[in-house]
């Protein structure tokens, strides 16, 4: 039986999950692949801590180069994260003819182009299924299962930490900070949760998704992002009154040769399948021109789900190895660059529905002044809720608009927030109406 | 640029979808695959009806053998359905070294073993992604994306017609026959809907899923089935009162070397992601030992979604073709038979929660008599709703049980239904509590 030798660089949470899976399901993997996937060496700066998996200390090294320079190793799995060091290791490994598997979404989102070009130059495979939505096989779905489709839209919940926090805020009415504390206590948020809650992590993943969907390596800077730190429980309550919930959405949508690429909290209709994706779960809703709407749901992070994704990529490379081939599918699943030139639509040009929450003094004529400014900027109101006076004397006026252009919205809110009758900065969320082809 | 030649046998709904997709997305498919997928010939008994796609009449033939015997054709797509004729064509094509793509779930579920053995003998690929859940790439997910996992459980909504009818019964409170009429009128049910509503279609698909999940070609006869024709609106209402909805579920679950394989209407908790799969949508919920719970959702039927599945299989074979390989993954995704010997658990041995609706005369002691018989068979009651007297003098007593064994349930219902106080046959549904690893 043929054999494929693997070196692991980075023995943290995901690394331990990969090792655990390779040990637990060894027979199954052999039966499925028809080859043995052999873990030869693991490099990590810390080779003493217990990871809860049984591993011969002889397998461990503090020197990643021992793995990269080992001619017997066919595949390296990069799980150290970060940019410079990871990049260097991956490029070195590819130069030495090794295939690479990485869960490093930030690196792919920033340096995808050079990574893919280097893989092509050295005729090796590079796989990154674990980088997008953890255990959910969405990279594979876009590259293969839905490959016959023009992708029209992707709406995704890609950050489990944010989704967990929003679920607590929705179900228990907690303010953001309290929900974040619970998430930290239960291990759903890291000590420094910045990249999760400011939308960066979701934007990294969306960058990879749009690259796959449209066949060009876009970069992280192309994606607009806002996080969930500006979400208040009252907006979630108002969302409910209008028939929506609030989710951190990653959105990609193609129209007229332009792509919208944005991450921000958004209103989602309660009867949309994404509205029921709660707790730390991720989900990717994809609309193809032939397949119609689809959804892929599961755990987007964690040792075992991410281990599942890494090992399924390993099995894929092993299946190529047995047949003596590489690069059966190119990383973005396009054998040649698509003819269609696609550009990212500037954020101020997007057109969508909006939710506004104005804080205004409780006096007659408030609504008329606000709606006057909106009307002058081609923004028409779909529905309004005006609440009773609050303790501080100001009243919230909340409304949903019909479709409006982002730049018009920004201009009008700038004017509205300068009005004497307006007491606080207006809160804005974008509204995703139920999409369907 | 290399080229792969395709012959289509069967130019019905799905066939037309395949042709439409190959025409519409020709450039995209070329860009992705790096080869041209060329439709050479289409065979159908009817070559005059308009299918809404532009096709040169010279491509059409009434003689399938013209395709099967054409040495230039690399792949045949079988879309005629049924058993004997389809089987004959597929075997002939494989003998001539042609790859086969089929959407014929019934054929795979009945004759999978011989089809897979023949494909192996002639070293060709056989793909059937369109046969399970239409456009949802679940075959691919089980074979590849989740391949590192031991599959613990599959709960699936696999029949769009039944799901549409149950959605109408739930949302509008309609009786079965009225909901069926609407489904027929709107094209969600065929003139003879038997195979859809009696559970056969879902059982065919479940047969394929358990074969993929466990690596052995099971057959249709191994799967227990009940359809939705015995579902009453009042049971759906009572389900709601207990916090459940009612779905036609296809269930596979492994425990202790045995597999449960069954299709029947079942109670699903309202907060389970499957509870929100409505209308004609399909969804497959898969639990792997590492990935945890996942869900794959989309349209399980229809010209365009099924076309998407067929063409993605075509692209897969084309990608092998370019690399000069075949059979990179065997049909059930096991390169060698798994060591684990698995048997199907007899239906009377399954253990689950139950819902009963008894029709009894309105007299004291009814509940005590019923619960006495249940208790004597180790069935304990979790909750009861007793309603007021109905017009005909009998009262419905509905209850949920704790876990019980099917054979005990059957025995006690047989005794209960013989009681003088019981006026009608007792209605039974199985209850799927929220599963999770």
Q: What is the pLDDT of residues A117-158, one digit of tens each?
A: 999 999 999 999 999 999 999 999 999 999 999 999 999 999
Partner-chain residue, chosen from A27, A32, A325, that has the shortest CB–CB distance to B335: A32
To the query of whether residue A205 is one of the catalytic residues in this protein, the response is yes
Write A69-73 long-range contacts (CB < 8 A, 24+): A69/A96, A70/A7, A70/A40, A70/A41, A71/A96, A72/A5, A72/A40, A73/A5, A73/A6, A73/A7, A73/A40, A73/A41, A73/A98
How far is residue B232's CA from residue B359's CA, in Å, rounded to a whole number? 14
Question: Please, is A93 exposed, middle or buried when counting C-beta atoms within 10 Å of its C-beta (0-12, 13-18, 19+)?
Answer: buried
Predicted confidence at residue A436, as pLDDT, reads 45
Token readout for A428 is 């804005």
Instruction: Specify the pairing of strand B126-127 against strand B99-102.
Output: parallel
Cβ contact, residue pair A337, B21, below 8 Å: no
**Contact flag B28-A150 (C-beta cutoff 8 Å):** yes
Asked whether the beta carbons of residue A292 and residue B299 sit closer than 8 angstroms, the reply is: yes
| Six-digit token string for A70 | 């080992």
Chain B CB contacts of A312 below 8 Å: 144-148
Cβ <8 Å between A312 and B144: yes
pLDDT at B390: 61
Taking residue A300's Cβ as centre, other Cβ atoms within 10 Å add up to 29
Neighbouring C-beta atoms of residue A389, cutoff 10 Å: 11
Backbone angles phi, psi at A360, to 5 degrees: -135, 160
Contacts of B282 in chain A (CB under 8 A): none
Q: Which residue of A has its CA nearest to B330?
A: A32
A148 vs B308: CB contact, 8 Å cut-off? Answer: yes
Residue from B169, B163, B155, B355 nearest B273 by CA = B155
Q: A177 phi and psi, to 5 degrees?
A: -65, -40
**DSSP structure class, residue A331:** T
Nearest to A319 among B150, B309, B329 (CB): B329
| Number of helices followed by number of strands (H, E) in chain B | 14, 18
- Nearby residues of B421 by Cβ (< 8 Å), 6 or more positions away: B360, B361, B363, B365, B366, B369
CA B252, CA B132: separation in Å to the nearest integer?
15
With b for 16 or more beta-carbon neighbours within 10 A and e for fewer, the A342-355 pattern comes to bebbebeebebbbb
| A140–B141 CB contact, under 8 Å | yes
* Contact between B296 and A299 using a beta-carbon 8 Å cutoff: no
**How many angstroms separate the CA atoms of B142 and B161, rounded?**
24
**pLDDT above 80 (res B355):** yes
B181-208 pLDDT, tens digit per residue, is 999 999 999 999 999 999 999 999 999 9
Calculate how close chain A gets to B379, using CA atoms only, in Å: 34
- CATH ID of A348-431, from 2.160.10.10, 3.55.40.20, 3.30.70.260, 2.40.37.20: 3.30.70.260
Answering whether pTM is above 0.80, one says: yes
B-chain residues within 8 Å CB-CB of A335?
31-35
Looking at the DSSP bridge assignments, the partners of residue B240 are none
Cβ <8 Å between B297 and A323: no
Chain B nearest CA to A305, separation (Å): 4
Which part of chain A is CATH 3.30.70.260?
348-431
Q: Tell me the fold of A142-299.
A: Dihydrodipicolinate Reductase; domain 2 (3.30.360)
B361-387: average pLDDT:
92
- What's the mean pLDDT in A201-222? 95
Q: What is the pLDDT of residues A270-284, one digit of tens each?
A: 989 999 999 999 999
pLDDT of residue B364: 82
The sign of the CA dihedral A61, A63, A67, A71 is negative
CA nearest A105: which of A280, A306, A260, A382? A306
pLDDT band at B436 (very low <50, low <70, confident <90, very high): very low
The predicted structure's pLDDT at residue B389: 63
- A396 φ/ψ angles, rounded to the nearest 5 degrees: -80, 135
Provide CATH 3.30.70.260 ranges for chain B. Answer: 347-431
Q: What residues in A contact B299, CB-CB < 8 Å?
A: 291-294
What is the distance, to the nearest Å, from the Cα of residue B107 to the centroid of all Cα atoms in its chain?
14
Dist. CA B69–CA B84, nearest whole Å: 19
Q: Which CATH number fits domain B138-299: 3.90.1150.10, 3.30.2020.30, 3.30.360.10, 1.10.10.10?
A: 3.30.360.10
CB A295 within 8 A of CB A285: yes
pLDDT digits (tens, 9 = 90+) for A1-18: 899 999 999 999 999 999
Q: What is the DSSP string of B47-59?
A: -SS--SS---GGG
CB B154 within 8 A of CB B285: yes
Give the closest-approach CA distance of A181 to chain B in angstroms: 25
pLDDT digits (tens, 9 = 90+) for B253-306: 998 889 999 999 999 999 899 999 999 999 999 999 999 999 999 999 999 999
Q: Report which of residues B387 and B44 the model is more confident about.
A: B44
Q: Which of B138, B298, B330 to mutate to test the interface with A (most CBs of A within 10 A)?
A: B298
Of A30, A308, A329, the CB nearest to B291: A308
Q: Which residues contact B35 (CB under 8 A, 6 or more apart)?
A: A335, B1, B2, B3, B4, B318, B319, B321, B322
With beta carbons less than 8 A apart as the criterion, state whether B273 and B288 touch.
no
Count of all residues that appear for chain A in the document: 437
Cβ-based contacts under 8 A for chains A and B: 217
Set of chain B residues whose Cβ sits within 8 Å of the Cβ of A302: 292
DSSP secondary structure code for residue A131 in this structure = G
Of A224, A225, A270, nearest in space to A246 by CA: A270
Q: A6, A32, A140: best mutation site toward chain B, by most B Cβ within 10 Å?
A: A32
A147·B298 Cβ contact <8 A: no
Contact, A319 vs A92, CB < 8 A? no
State how beta strands A99-102 and A126-127 pair. Answer: parallel
* Sequence-distant (≥ 6) Cβ neighbours of residue A274 within 8 angstroms: A155, A157, A247, A249, A268, A283, A285, A295
Q: Do A289 and B136 touch (CB under 8 A)?
A: no
Residues of B in contact with A144 (CB under 8 A): 137, 140, 144, 312, 315-316
pLDDT of residue A323: 97
**The pLDDT of residue A437 is above 50:** no
Do residue B319 and residue A338 have CB atoms under 8 angstroms apart? no
* Comma-separated ranges of CATH 3.40.50.720 domains in chain A: 2-135+303-323
Q: Is there a contact between A123 and A116 (Cβ–Cβ < 8 Å)?
A: no
Residue B295 and residue A295: Cβ atoms within 8 Å? yes
Q: Which of A205, A225, A247, A345 is catalytic?
A: A205
Q: Which of A136, A290, A334 sits opposite B305 (nearest CB)?
A: A290
Give chain B positions within 8 Å (CB) of A32.
147, 215, 333-335
Q: What is the dihedral of CA B124, B130, B132, B135, to 10 degrees?
A: 140
CA distance A110 to A217: 9
**In this predicted structure, what is the pLDDT of residue A390?**
61
Residue B74 in tokens: 């690399």
Cβ neighbours of B21 in A, within 8 Å: 148, 290
Strand partners, A3: A36
Interface test with B, best of A125, A245, A298 (most B CBs within 10 A): A298
**Mean pLDDT value across chain A:** 95
Q: Which chain B residue shows the shortest CA-CA distance from A36? A: B335
In angstroms, the separation between the Cα of residue A296 and the nearest Cα of chain B is 5
Tokens of A437: 């082809």
Crossing angle (nearest 10°) for helices B160-172 and B233-241: 70
Are residues B299 and A316, on separate chains, in Cβ contact within 8 Å? no
pLDDT at B437: 35
Per the CB < 8 A criterion, the answer to whether B78 and B9 are in contact is yes
Residue B175 in tokens: 């009786």
Interface mutation target, options B291, B311, B326, B329, chain A, most CBs of A under 10 Å: B291
Helical axes B105-121 vs B200-214, angle rounded to 10°: 30
**Catalytic residue of the set B41, B205, B225, B247:** B205
The angle subtended at Cα B23 by Cα B17 and Cα B26, nearest 5°, is 120
Q: From the candidates B290, B294, B313, B330, which should be mutated to test the interface with A, based on the most A CB atoms within 10 A?
A: B290
Examine the pLDDT at B343 and tell me if it is beyond 70.
Answer: yes
The answer to whether B135 contacts A290, with C-beta atoms less than 8 Å apart, is yes
Contacts of A256 (CB under 8 A, 6+ apart): none
Looking at chain B, which residue has its C-alpha nearest residue A338?
A: B31
- Where exactly does CATH 3.30.360.10 map onto chain B? 138-299
Residue B137 to residue A149, Cβ atoms within 8 A: no
Q: Which residues of B touch A293 (CB under 8 A)?
A: 298-299
Tally Cβ neighbours within 10 Å of residue B403. Answer: 14
Does domain B347-431 bear CATH number 3.10.180.10?
A: no
Chain segment B145-178, per-residue pLDDT in tens: 999 999 999 999 999 999 999 999 999 999 999 9
User: Cβ neighbours of residue B4 under 8 Å, at least 6 residues apart?
Assistant: B35, B36, B37, B38, B74, B75, B314, B317, B318, B321
Q: Which of A405, A403, A348, A397 is nearest to A380 (CA)?
A: A403
Sorted by sequence, the CB contacts under 8 Å of residue A427 that are 6+ apart come out as A230, A232, A235, A356, A357
Q: Selecting from 3.30.420.60, 3.30.470.20, 3.90.1150.10, 3.40.50.720, what CATH number does the domain B2-135+303-323 have?
A: 3.40.50.720
Average confidence (pLDDT) over B24-36: 96
* Contact (CB<8Å) A298/B295: yes
Cα B307 to Cα B313: distance, rounded to the nearest angstrom: 10
Rounded Cα gap, residues B305 and B301, in angstroms: 6
Residues of A within 8 A of B339 (CB-CB) are 27, 31
- Which residues of chain B does A329 touch, with a Cβ-Cβ cutoff of 8 Å? 319
Contact call for residues B13 and B303 (beta carbons, < 8 A): yes
Smallest Cβ–Cβ distance between B148 and the set A140, A308, A337 belongs to: A308
């Amino acid at each position: 039986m043929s054999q494929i030798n693997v070196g692991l660089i980075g023995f943290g949470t995901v690394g331990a999950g990969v090792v655990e899976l390779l040990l637990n399901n060894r027979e199954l993997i052999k039966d499925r692949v028809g080859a043995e996937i052999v873990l030869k060496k693991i490099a990590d700066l810390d080779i003493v801590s217990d990871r809860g998996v049984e591993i011969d200390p002889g397998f461990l090294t503090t020197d990643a180069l021992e793995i990269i320079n080992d001619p017997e190793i066919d595949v390296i799995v990069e799980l150290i994260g970060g940019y410079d060091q990871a990049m260097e290791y991956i490029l070195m490994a590819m130069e030495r003819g090794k295939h690479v598997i990485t869960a490093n979404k930030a690196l792919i989102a920033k340096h995808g182009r050079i990574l893919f070009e280097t893989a092509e130059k050295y005729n090796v495979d590079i796989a990154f299924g674990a980088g997008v939505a953890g255990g959910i096989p969405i990279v594979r779905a876009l590259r293969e299962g839905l490959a016959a489709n023009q992708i029209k839209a992707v709406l995704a919940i890609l950050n489990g930490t944010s989704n967990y926090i929003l679920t607590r805020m929705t179900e228990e009415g907690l303010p953001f900070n309290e929900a974040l504390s619970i998430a930290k206590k239960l291990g759903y948020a890291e000590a420094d949760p910045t990249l999760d809650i400011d939308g960066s992590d979701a934007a990294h993943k969306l960058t990879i998704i749009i690259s796959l969907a449209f066949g060009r390596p876009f970069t992280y800077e192309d994606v607009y992002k806002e996080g969930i730190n500006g979400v208040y429980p009252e907006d979630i309550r108002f969302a409910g009154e209008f028939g929506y919930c609030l989710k951190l959405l990653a959105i990609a949508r193609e129209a007229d040769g332009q792509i919208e690429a944005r991450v921000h909290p958004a209103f989602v209709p309660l009867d949309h399948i994404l509205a029921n994706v709660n707790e730390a779960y991720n989900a990717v809703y994809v609309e193809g021109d032939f397949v119609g709407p689809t959804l892929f749901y599961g755990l987007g992070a964690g040792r075992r789900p991410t281990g599942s994704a890494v090992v399924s990529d390993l099995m894929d490379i092993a299946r190529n190895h047995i047949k003596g081939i590489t690069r059966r599918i190119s990383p973005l699943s396009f054998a040649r660059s698509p003819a269609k030139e696609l550009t990212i639509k500037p954020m101020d040009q997007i057109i969508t529905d909006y939710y506004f929450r104005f804080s205004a003094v409780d006096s007659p004529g408030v609504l008329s002044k606000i709606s006057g400014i909106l009307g002058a900027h081609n923004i028409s109101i779909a529905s309004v809720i005006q609440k009773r006076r609050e303790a501080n004397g100001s009243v919230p006026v909340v409304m949903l608009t019909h479709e409006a252009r982002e730049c018009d919205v920004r201009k009008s809110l700038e004017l509205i927030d300068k009005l004497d009758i307006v007491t606080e900065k207006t809160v804005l969320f974008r509204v995703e109406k139920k999409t369907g082809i």
